[in-house]
């Protein structure tokens, strides 16, 4: 059993409405039942209600596995980086600190790192992961590229992310506007950039004052 190579996971943060359905659905997944592994993050909470769902991006060169001193994190042949193996994990939290996307969760109660494994029990038999099956705005989409292109002509997927000097190619793809698809997304540089809308609003206020 493995995830079919023509099925892919696509995230479109601009579609996220912050409804928490994915968070609830995630905890129903059989591979980590009762524990939600998805992160639903607010981008800039004082200024916007925009949220972004973060699932494991299943990197080509998984940093979590690179830094694991116990050799506990393994990637299956279909490119899915699996949760830490219980007999090996020593709960050192190295992966939690190392993951550029902040995906792994340290479950101190079990002394075990747990992370999103793309609902391997479901996706490996052709079903959608729990979060993608419930997302009402399809910010989390699991399916073929053809389906995606048909339903979203305005956007195109990217799978390269830059963190400082490290460029990561991921199995999970993120949607970007089709008219300006970047070669990669420079995440660390983007953290320094302030939202242009905020600057405009401040100028308007200053002018009014």
Beta bridge partners of 177: 155
Q: What is the CA radius of gyration of the chain?
A: 18
- In the shown chain, the binding pattern of residues 123 to 152 toward another protein, with x for contact by CB under 8 A and - for none, equals ------------------------------
Cβ at position 3, least distance to another protein in Å: 8
Residue whose CB is less far from another protein, 77 or 209: 77
Sheet containing strand 140-143, edge to edge, reads: 140-143, 8-11, 166-177, 155-163, 185-186
Q: Record the tokens describing residue 115, joined without a space.
A: 């992370």
Residue whose CB is less far from another protein, 49 or 166: 166
Cβ at position 76, least distance to another protein in Å: 5
| 78 is a site residue for another protein (CB under 8 A) | yes
Which residues within the stretch 18-77 sit at the binding site for another protein (CB under 8 A)? 60-63, 65-66, 71, 73-77
Question: Taking the alpha carbons of 128, 129, 133, 136 in that order, is the dihedral positive or negative?
Answer: negative
DSSP track, 139-178: SEEEE-HHHHHHH-TTEEEEEEEEETTEEEEEEEEEEEEG
Break the chain down into helix, strand, coil percent, rounded to 5.
30, 25, 50
| 199 is a site residue for another protein (CB under 8 A) | no
Q: Record the tokens describing residue 17, joined without a space.
A: 């409405």
- In the shown chain, the binding pattern of residues 99 to 128 toward another protein, with x for contact by CB under 8 A and - for none, equals ------------------------------
Cβ at position 99, least distance to another protein in Å: 13
Is the distance from CB of 118 to CB of 129 less than 8 angstroms? yes
Applying CB under 8 A, among 2, 48, 49, 188 the residue interacting with another protein is: 2
- In the shown chain, the binding pattern of residues 160 to 179 toward another protein, with x for contact by CB under 8 A and - for none, equals ------x--x----------
The binding site for another protein (CB under 8 A) comprises 2, 4-5, 60-63, 65-66, 71, 73-79, 82, 166, 169
């Amino acid at each position: 059993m493995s995830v079919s190579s023509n099925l892919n996971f696509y995230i479109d943060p601009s579609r996220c409405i912050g409804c928490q359905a994915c968070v609830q659905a995630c905890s129903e997944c059989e591979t980590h039942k009762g524990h939600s592994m998805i992160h639903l993050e607010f981008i800039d909470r004082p200024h916007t209600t925009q949220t972004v769902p973060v699932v494991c991006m299943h990197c080509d060169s998984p940093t979590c596995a690179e830094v694991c001193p116990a050799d506990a994190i393994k990637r299956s042949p279909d490119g899915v980086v699996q949760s830490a193996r219980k007999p090996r994990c020593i709960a050192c939290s190295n992966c939690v600190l190392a993951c550029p996307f902040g995906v792994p969760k340290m479950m101190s109660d079990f002394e075990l790192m747990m992370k999103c494994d793309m609902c391997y029990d479901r996706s490996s038999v052709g079903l959608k992961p729990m979060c993608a099956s419930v997302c009402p705005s399809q910010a989390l989409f699991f399916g073929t590229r053809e389906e995606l292109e048909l339903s979203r002509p305005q956007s195109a997927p990217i799978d390269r992310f830059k963190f400082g000097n490290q460029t990561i190619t991921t199995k999970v793809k993120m949607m970007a506007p089709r008219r300006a698809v970047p070669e990669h997304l420079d995440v660390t540089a983007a953290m320094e950039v302030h939202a242009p809308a905020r600057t405009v609003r401040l100028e308007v206020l200053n002018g009014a004052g």
